Amino acid sequence: MTTPGDFDALLVLSFGGPEQPADVRPFLENVTRGRGVPPERLDTVVEHYMHFGGVSPINRLNRDIIDALRVEFDSAGVDLPIYFGNRNWHPMIEDTVATMKSDGIRNALVFPTSAWGGYSGCRQYHEDIARARAAVGDDAPHLLKIRQYYDHPLMVDAFSDAVASARATLPEQHRAGARLVFTAHSIPSAADANAGPPEDGGHLYSRQVAEASRLVAAASGVDDYDLVWQSRSGPPQVPWLDPDICDHVEALSEKSVDAVIVCPIGFVSDHLEVVWDLDTEAEEKARELGMAFARAGTPGSDARFPRMIRELVDEYRVGGRCRGLGSVPGYGSTLDGSRCAVGCCEQPTRPSRPAAATS
Ligand SMILES: CC1=C(CCC(=O)O)c2cc3nc(cc4[nH]c(cc5[nH]c(cc1n2)c(C)c5CCC(=O)O)c(CCC(=O)O)c4C)C(CCC(=O)O)=C3C
Ligand SMILES: [Fe+2]
């Protein structure tokens, strides 16, 4: 047995996205298998990807993060190889873990590109880890997932600088008064209610998102702001976290707000949910209503992001300090895909088909 701190690799684990038009359907089938997403919604999302030539930016952005992390590791003397695997598209985590095994890796850390608790943001990554290890069979490397890092000071700083840069792109007369609006991926309200260890009271995802928004707003010197949600995909009769970003832009316009800064607090990089749902849909909505619009950047491309990953790795590798500014707890660090606690981030049962025969 290796000792807990004795790691021999880092696996960067992400969501995955298509890299050519032929990938789009099979990718979406992987994402939505068994999840009760209506087929009409899938057709719409296919079109979103096709607007970008059937290529999501997400894999390239993750490879950029890994390149920057290599430089950070080398300059800090962290001698770990870095692997890349995804839940939904190539490089698939199963293939990556097989490669790690054949390279002789025994005991790796896993950095997830989601900072959050909840089923989609945390537990599903544990499931990916367990599935990949099972697929690889005997002698699969041990995989220890890094904790939720929603309130890491380097991420908060990167977001608040991005808010300042976005503000600076607005026409002069709108800069001081622009409304700051945070947005994160919506999830079913029932999934949010179950998020976190049951004894912690639930709603861990929305509490962490609210806390991260509060921290970034405070670092930006803003005390009045909004938190909204985006990219919902469930059937309309199932409640998800709301309001939706586009509805909110409309509501602000009715209150005579004439400029917004949208900060995608729920995302690490400018992947499709950001470049479509915000830069295309929300921005169009704002323009239609005559509002000035600026979208803050995501932290993945900020130099502080690889530093944050290195600090997180050092917490496990050498007992480095665990930094976090928030008062909502972070969980999510377990070995080989085990749960944080009994019932943690339980996936509520969903209708397999919308409005299925309830007579
Ligand atoms: C909390 C959360 C995060 C943040 C945490 C994390 O980063 O992990 C996130 C990230 C992302 N979500 C992404 C894409 C999609 N999410 C979908 C569907 C869903 N997301 C959900 C939640 C989340 N999603 C949920 C509850 C569903 C319903 C189906 C289900 O219960 O699983 C669908 C299906 C079609 C549709 O949109 O309806 C797609 C295509 C991409 C990649 C974009 C690209 O390709 O660049 C990324 C980074
Ligand atoms: Fe998603």
Whichever domain contains 146, its CATH number is 3.40.50.1400
pLDDT surpasses 80 at 117: yes
- Which among 45, 26, 29 has a CA at the least distance from the CA of 281? 45
Q: Residue 356: what pLDDT?
A: 41
Hey, whose CA ends up nearest to atom 43 of ligand 1?
A: 272
Q: Are residues 27 and 127 in the same domain?
A: yes
Ligand 1 close to Cβ of residue 265 (< 6 A): no
Q: Are residues 163 and 39 in the same domain?
A: no
> Is 185 labelled as part of a ligand binding site?
yes
Q: Residue 37: what pLDDT?
A: 87
Ligand 1 close to Cβ of residue 111 (< 6 A): no
Can you say how many angstroms the Cα of residue 169 is from the centroid of all Cα atoms in its chain? 26
Ligand 1 close to Cβ of residue 332 (< 6 A): no
Contact 310, 72 (CB under 8 A): yes
Task: Tell me what percent of the residues of the chain surpass a pLDDT of 90.
Answer: 91
pLDDT surpasses 80 at 5: no
Domain around 37:
9-150+302-318
Q: Residue 36: what pLDDT?
A: 82
Residue 258 is classified by DSSP as -
Q: Are residues 171 and 216 in the same domain?
A: yes
Residue found by looking up tokens 């909004």 in the block: 226
**Sequence-ordered alpha helix ranges (H) in 51-123:** 58-76, 93-102
Domain presence at residue 350: no
Ligand 1 close to Cβ of residue 41 (< 6 A): yes
Task: Tell me what percent of the residues of the chain surpass a pLDDT of 70.
Answer: 96
Distance 232 CA to ligand 1 centre (A): 9
Mean pLDDT of 152-157: 98
Q: Are residues 169 and 196 in the same domain?
A: yes
Ligand 1 close to Cβ of residue 273 (< 6 A): yes
pLDDT surpasses 70 at 329: yes
What value does the mean pLDDT of the chain take? 95
How far, in Å, CA of 189 to CA of 176, rounded?
34
**Sequence-ordered alpha helix ranges (H) in 77-118:** 93-102
How far, in Å, CA of 152 to CA of 166, rounded?
21
Domain presence at residue 247: yes
Ligand 1 atom at minimum distance from 234 CA: 28
Q: Are residues 145 and 31 in the same domain?
A: yes
Q: Residue 358: what pLDDT?
A: 38
- Which among 188, 154, 186 has a CA at the least distance from the CA of 72? 154
More confident residue, 245 or 234: 245
Stretch among 25-39, 51-65, 161-175, 314-328 having the lowest mean pLDDT: 25-39
Confidence of residue 39 (pLDDT cuts 50, 70, 90): confident
Distance 185 CA to ligand 1 centre (A): 7
pLDDT surpasses 80 at 12: yes
Mean pLDDT of 101-119: 98
pLDDT surpasses 50 at 2: no
Q: Are residues 259 and 313 in the same domain?
A: no
User: Both tokens of residue 318?
Assistant: 């050498």
Ligand 1 atom at minimum distance from 347 CA: 31
User: Both tokens of residue 316?
Assistant: 């496990």
Q: Are residues 106 and 198 in the same domain?
A: no
Side-chain half-sphere CA neighbours of 164 within 13 A: 11
Residue 333 is classified by DSSP as -
Confidence of residue 350 (pLDDT cuts 50, 70, 90): low
Burial 239-263, CB ≥16 within 10 A → b, else e: ebbebbbbebbbebbeeebbbbbbb
Instruction: Ligand 1 pocket test: pick from 25, 30, 32, 120 the residue with the most ligand atoms within 8 Å of its Cβ.
Output: 120
- Which among 158, 147, 113 has a CA at the least distance from the CA of 12? 113
Ligand 1 atom at minimum distance from 57 CA: 46
Contact 61, 269 (CB under 8 A): yes
Mean pLDDT of 324-353: 88
Ligand 1 close to Cβ of residue 106 (< 6 A): no
Q: Residue 234: what pLDDT?
A: 83
Q: Which residues are CB-contacts of 225 (< 8 A; sequence separation ≥ 6)?
A: 179, 180, 181, 182, 213, 217
